[in-house]
Amino acid sequence: MANDEYDFLFKVVLIGDSGVGKSNLLSRFTRNEFNLDSKSTIGVEFATRSIQVDNKTIKAQIWDTAGQERYRAITSAYYRGAVGALLVYDISKNITYENVTRWLKELRDHADSNIVIMLVGNKSDLRHLRAVPTDDAKNFAAENHLSFIETSALDATNVELAFQNILTEIYNIVSTKSFAEEDGKKFDPREGGTNITLSQEGPKGESKGCC
Amino acid sequence: MRSPAETKLRWEETFKHGPRISALQRAIKFNGPESPCVAGLRSLCWKGFLLFPDASAEEWPRLLRQLRDSYDTLCEQHLKFIRHPEQLAALSFDPLADDPESPWITVRKDEAIRAEIQQDVSRLPDDPFYHQETIQTMILDILFLYCKLNPSAGGYRQGMHELLAPIVHVVAQDSVDDKQSSVTDTLDPPIVELLDSSRVEHDAFALFSKVMDRAAAFYEVEQNTIVEKSKYIHEVALLKVDEELASHLRDIEVLPQIFLIRWIRLLFGREFPFEQTMILWDAVFAFDPNLEMIDLICVAMLLRIRWTLLEADYSVALQLLLKYPVPPPPHGPHTFVDDALYLQNHFDAAGGVALITKYSGRLPAAASVTATVTSTPSRSSTPSFQGFGSLRQRTLGARSPLSSTTKLLQQPGGVEAILRGAAKNVIEKSEKLGINDAVRDAVGEIRRNMQGLQDTRNSPRINRTLFSDNSLAIFTLERRNQQLATMLEESITNLKQLVASDFEGDKQKQLETVEVAAAKIQYVKACLEDSTLDLPVEEPPTLATLSISTHPETRSPTVALDTTAVVMASSAVEEARSRLSSPASSDRNNTLASVPEEPPTESAAEEIIDKMDTDPPERKQTPPPARPPNPEPETSPSVIHTPTTMPTPKERPQGPIPTRSTLAQSSFAWMLEPDTTVSARSPPNRPLSSSGKKKHNPSREKNAFLFGEVVPNDGAAGERTVSPDEIFGLQPIRKI
């Protein structure tokens, strides 16, 4: 069924408050679709897409969950083996930006300590409603060693780039570090936690592609 | 809103079977376009099932009035200032004061709750109905009130809105406006009152609250109930009915809560198209208003796609489970409720096999030892029924998921399940379509099952193990073939007569004839496929013997072989029919009048295990009197169904081999030492581990090990000269 020709398989999770557009980022990236009235996510959604980095095929297994699921139920299953996280907020709703610190704590508590995190300010098309200045978020990201990008799932701005960036970042870490000696070995996120030895490379790429 | 005339028609359609709930349930059972929920007024049916299960329809208006009044009171209490902010302003409280008693504080908190709810309500599915302003407000208000009344539930949880929205939809769709003269002219006042359009919100709230009485647990966060429930479904319920699938899901590390959260919290609302989901809900509310069968519905859904799942890796499986393939008609989603009801009564591997075979026509390859053991006792081995009993006993050792040659033999109760399934289908279909179709279908079903069983034809095991003495084997087989031929002859004659009579006359009788013939043919087929299967001396037992449970009376060793097939089969017909016609098979009181049946409890698992541990005396057998004295293997009197007394884990057996009989206790005993017959009178509760016999019988000891005895026995493996698969086509069993 699925085309299983890939060199690396990375699990990436989408987190952030309810209604910031996580599901639409996922559908835009994996199916190039956007739905203005998309239903709220219940539990977990899941999609994959493969991209090329450095002549290697990277299969991204992207998990999307209900914003409310911050409260337990599937937390451990959700973060298990994740090597990347897109922490999404809505640039038109300040509260979703304020809650970013809570999500970072959640990641610290439940995800692998070396998980690659990208802060994503979504709904950048809503310029007239902007509540979170780009520079604020950019500075916050730098302080916390996060990558940063603003996107619009609605008009597709930067969505592709956001995923490309985080997957490339993960790939760079994985290929240069822990897997140098076993080139080409499949990187299976389900083994995560035991043999992931990602390390933070410092705040790199934080201003890539932001508008 | 419908025209008054149509509403009147639908009203009549709803109650044409009578005003009682049981009548409605019966009508739902055959969920076609005739269902009172589809052709009649669904909202009324739901009100009946959920709100007034014990009341006659005449009482509904009065009861509904009470519920509506209490809702008005609640609104007055909690929605006053939200609906009428001007009244808040008129109060003498300072809006900026920090007084926690201040209604302003409460209102601000309430607004926050409502904002959270509104975010989901505005994202309800595409149906324009949900996006009308009045409906949006109505859904918001109901959810808000529910949260206010149930603070312990942890507030609003995402998903509740999609449980409520369909309810509002259904109630609103059936409602009538009592201010229109055409309505009041056409419809009787009680009808108008029950369907009052100004009370849609009240009624939807009542229905939603009732559903949430049980569903709230699915949303609970502190105890993480949903995760526990998911684990139970995977590691207990599914394991019990389809161990192969449960193990596969475990092996590919698909965590059940990942997909079950949505299935369960939304009562499958996102898994199927709206109309089909509603028909599913009809059945759920009709037969399981307390939502106790949700687990089994999930299991049934997994069984339905088990073949695809077995071939799927992690991502494919997850994608499949998160985007469940809509089951094609006529087996739409509501049939999962039928399956769940069936599983409730057949909560074992055989039940799983029956469902898998029913929908796919394929027999599962391997079933677990665990499942085998737990499935064995409930319905097995009336003494008359040595054939299947010993078959099952033999399968205890069979554990070879990769082998395709021994499918049937590895199938605990496989034959039994097929027979039962076939019989049920014959009857079901006869009732719906008439006898002609039933005959055709039965033949088709038999043919299909034959295909499914082809693989087992050449089972090498039989040749290697049973017929070491060729002449004896040939003699035995010839005699056996004659018996089988006689049976086929009878069935053919009966069917021919039926055709000759052009299906005139007593339909009931004809049904039974078809039924008996089908059962016999199935039985012959089973016998042909497994030559280790014993034939009773006079008449082969048929369906009924399989279905009759281990009621004490039926266990007497003499009941056995003098019961004729016809009598037994007809009781099977009764059993199946009573199951079909009983308005709620979940109602254990009226499930089976004539045939004792184990009660369909949720704790069936435990009961079965308990039984297994304690009922050996009944299962001992003495050889049937008419049996020839020669030591031919098939009819060896040494077949003992003495179960082990090993402690069986009550829950979620992780290890693959919790309990099994020793070989010495099985029907293979004759092979180990032909001169030593294992006594049928051996103490039934003899603990395996202390069996002194094994000590001086190395061959038995080593073979006993093959059958997975959990006895520390390090020496045995090394001494083996013949590997278990060489002998039995079995997979060696890893020691713990």
Residue A16 confidence (pLDDT) above 80:
yes
Q: State residue B196's pLDDT score.
A: 94
Of chain B, the percentage scoring pLDDT greater than 70 comes to 56
Cβ neighbourhood burial of A1 (10 Å; 0-12, 13-18, 19+): exposed
Distance, CA of B200 to CA of B640 (rounded, Å) = 64
Q: Radius of gyration over alpha carbons of chain B, in Å? A: 30
Q: State residue B93's pLDDT score.
A: 75
Question: pLDDT-derived band of residue B509, with 50, 70 and 90 as boundaries?
Answer: confident
Segment B530-555 shows an average pLDDT of: 46
Structural domain tally of chain A?
A: 1
Q: Is-contact A83 A34, C-beta < 8 A?
A: no
- In this structure, the strands spanning A8-16 and A56-65 are parallel
B362 vs A29, which has greater pLDDT? A29
Distance, CA of B82 to CA of B381 (rounded, Å) = 68
Question: pLDDT-derived band of residue B82, with 50, 70 and 90 as boundaries?
Answer: confident
Query: Of A23, A74, A76, which to mutate for an interface test with B (greatest number of B Cβ within 10 Å)?
Result: A74
Question: pLDDT-derived band of residue B553, with 50, 70 and 90 as boundaries?
Answer: very low
Segment B441-447 shows an average pLDDT of: 49
Strand order through the sheet with A116-122: A44-53, A56-65, A8-16, A84-90, A116-122, A147-150
Q: State residue B536's pLDDT score.
A: 59
How many CB atoms are closer than 10 A to CB B209?
Answer: 20
Question: pLDDT-derived band of residue A209, with 50, 70 and 90 as boundaries?
Answer: very low
Residue A59 inside a domain? The answer is yes
Residue A185 inside a domain? The answer is no
- For residue B323, give how far its alpha carbon lies from the nearest alpha carbon of chain A (Å): 9
Q: Which of B140, B149, B147, B150 is nearest to B119 (CA)?
A: B140
Distance, CA of B559 to CA of B643 (rounded, Å) = 21
Residue B568 dihedral angles phi and psi, to the nearest 5°: -65, -40
Tens of pLDDT, residue by residue over B600-631, are 443 443 443 344 333 333 443 444 444 444 44
**Chain B residues with CB-CB distance to A72 below 8 A:** 221, 224
Residue A118 confidence (pLDDT) above 50:
yes
Q: State residue B734's pLDDT score.
A: 44
- For residue A84, give how far its alpha carbon lies from the nearest alpha carbon of chain B (Å): 17
Q: Say yes or no for a CB contact (<8 Å) between B157 and A68.
A: yes
Residue B543 confidence (pLDDT) above 80:
no
Residue type, B444: G
Residue B512 confidence (pLDDT) above 60:
yes
Q: What is the mean pLDDT of chain B?
A: 69
Cβ neighbourhood burial of B303 (10 Å; 0-12, 13-18, 19+): buried
**Chain B residues with CB-CB distance to A74 below 8 A:** 227, 255, 257-258, 261
**Chain A residues with CB-CB distance to B128 below 8 A:** none
Q: Say yes or no for a CB contact (<8 Å) between B261 and A190.
A: no
Q: State residue B184's pLDDT score.
A: 86
Q: Say yes or no for a CB contact (<8 Å) between A77 and B162.
A: no
Question: pLDDT-derived band of residue B113, with 50, 70 and 90 as boundaries?
Answer: very high
Pick the residue from chain A with its C-alpha nearest to B161. Answer: A40
Residue A202 inside a domain? The answer is no
**Chain A residues with CB-CB distance to B265 below 8 A:** 42-43
- Residue ranges in B175-255 assigned as alpha helix (H): 181-186, 189-194, 200-219, 225-232, 239-241, 243-251
Q: State residue B222's pLDDT score.
A: 77
Contacts of B214 (CB under 8 A, 6+ apart): B290, B291, B292
Tens of pLDDT, residue by residue over B23-38, are 888 888 876 677 889 9
Which residue(s) pair with A60 in the sheet? A10, A49
Structure tokens at B632: 């031919």
Question: pLDDT-derived band of residue B106, with 50, 70 and 90 as boundaries?
Answer: confident
Query: Of A3, A11, A42, which to mutate for an interface test with B (greatest number of B Cβ within 10 Å)?
Result: A42
**Chain A residues with CB-CB distance to B123 below 8 A:** 19, 37-40
**Chain A residues with CB-CB distance to B124 below 8 A:** 39
**Residue from the list B158, B226, B313 with its beta carbon closest to the beta carbon of A40:** B158
Q: State residue B532's pLDDT score.
A: 62
Angle, in degrees to the nearest 10, between helices B414-433 and B565-581 = 60
Angle, CA of A28, A30 and A33, to the nearest 5°? 35
Tens of pLDDT, residue by residue over B625-654, are 444 444 444 434 444 444 434 444 444 444
- Residue ranges in B266-334 assigned as alpha helix (H): 274-287, 294-304, 306-311, 314-322
Residue A156 inside a domain? The answer is yes
Residue A1 inside a domain? The answer is no
- For residue B119, give how far its alpha carbon lies from the nearest alpha carbon of chain A (Å): 7
**Chain B residues with CB-CB distance to A42 below 8 A:** 158-159, 162, 261-262, 265-266, 270
Q: Is-contact B495 B517, C-beta < 8 A?
A: yes
Residue B394 confidence (pLDDT) above 80:
no
Length of chain A: 211
Question: pLDDT-derived band of residue B421, with 50, 70 and 90 as boundaries?
Answer: low
Q: Radius of gyration over alpha carbons of chain A, in Å? A: 16
Structure tokens at B324: 């469940």
Distance, CA of B536 to CA of B555 (rounded, Å) = 16
Residue A46 confidence (pLDDT) above 80:
yes
- For residue A36, give how far its alpha carbon lies from the nearest alpha carbon of chain B (Å): 9
Residue B284 confidence (pLDDT) above 70:
yes
Segment B361-373 shows an average pLDDT of: 60
Distance, CA of B328 to CA of B120 (rounded, Å) = 31
Residue A205 inside a domain? The answer is no
**Chain A residues with CB-CB distance to B120 below 8 A:** 18, 40
Q: State residue A8's pLDDT score.
A: 93
**Residue from the list A39, A42, A73 with its beta carbon closest to the beta carbon of B224:** A73
Residue B260 confidence (pLDDT) above 50:
yes
**Strand, coil or helix: A47:** strand
Contacts of B715 (CB under 8 A, 6+ apart): none
Identify the residue whose tokens are 């409906």: B135
Residue A43 inside a domain? The answer is yes
B456 vs B130, which has greater pLDDT? B130
Question: pLDDT-derived band of residue B511, with 50, 70 and 90 as boundaries?
Answer: confident
Q: Is-contact A125 A93, C-beta < 8 A?
A: no
**Which DSSP letter does residue B407 get?**
T
Structure tokens at B52: 């007034």
CATH number reported for the structural domain that contains residue A91 in this entry: 3.40.50.300
Tens of pLDDT, residue by residue over B295-350, are 999 999 999 999 999 999 988 999 899 999 999 888 999 999 999 999 999 999 99
Pick the residue from chain B with its C-alpha nearest to A1. Answer: B316
Pairs from B113-118 (Cβ < 8 Å, separation ≥ 24): B113/B144, B113/B147, B113/B148, B113/B155, B113/B156, B114/B82, B114/B140, B114/B144, B116/A18, B116/B155, B116/B156, B117/B143, B117/B144, B117/B147, B117/B156, B117/B161
Residue B99 confidence (pLDDT) above 80:
no
Q: State residue B102's pLDDT score.
A: 80
Tens of pLDDT, residue by residue over A153-166, are 999 999 999 999 99
**Strand, coil or helix: A10:** strand
Tens of pLDDT, residue by residue over A164-205, are 999 999 999 988 865 544 544 444 544 443 344 343 333 333
Segment B184-213 shows an average pLDDT of: 94
**Chain A residues with CB-CB distance to B158 below 8 A:** 18, 40-42, 66-68
Q: State residue B95's pLDDT score.
A: 73
* Cα separation of the two ends of chain A: 38
Query: Of B111, B119, B161, which to mutate for an interface test with A (greatest number of A Cβ within 10 Å)?
Result: B119
Identify the residue whose tokens are 């001494």: B719
- For residue A2, give how far its alpha carbon lies from the nearest alpha carbon of chain B (Å): 7
Q: Which of B77, B43, B293, B270 is nearest to B158 (CA)?
A: B270
Q: Say yes or no for a CB contact (<8 Å) between A77 and B255.
A: yes
Residue B190 confidence (pLDDT) above 70:
yes
Residue B703 confidence (pLDDT) above 90:
no
**Chain B residues with CB-CB distance to A68 below 8 A:** 157-158
Pick the residue from chain B with its C-alpha nearest to A45. Answer: B322
Domain of residue A145, residue span: 6-178
Residue A97 inside a domain? The answer is yes
- For residue B114, give how far its alpha carbon lies from the nearest alpha carbon of chain A (Å): 14
Q: State residue B329's pLDDT score.
A: 82
ipTM exceeding cut-off 0.85 for this assembly:
no
